Amino acid sequence: MVGMAYPAINDSQLNTGLIPLPPLNEQKRIVEKVETLMKLCDDLETQIAGSKQESENLMEAVLHEAFGSNEEK
């Protein structure tokens, strides 16, 4: 797609506008924080997957105990 659909600003105004960036040290600090948070998210996803598997195993054991014992009688 080319152009913009916002009538209050045109392409030349957008292209000549300044976009403020934080100092390099601040950019690096932001990247470090994001990487730390992404690692935390990955760890949480791993824990959730483990908990889900444990829950499924528990449910299977409960069902086996409830219905499997009838077969043994």
According to the model, what pLDDT value does residue 57 have?
Answer: 95
pLDDT of residue 47: 97
* CA 68/CA 61 separation, integer angstroms: 9
pTM: 0.57
In a domain, residue 1? The reply is no
**How many structural domains is the chain composed of?**
1
Please report whether residue 15 resides in a domain: no
CA count, 13 A, side-chain hemisphere, 44: 6
* Virtual torsion, Cα 15, 16, 22, 24, nearest 10 deg: 80
In a domain, 45, yes or no: yes
Is 9 part of any domain? no
The residue range of the domain holding 64 is 22-72
The per-residue pLDDT for 17 is 86
Residue 28 belongs to some domain of the structure: yes
Query: Would you state the pLDDT for residue 12?
Result: 84
Low-confidence ranges of the chain (pLDDT < 50): 73
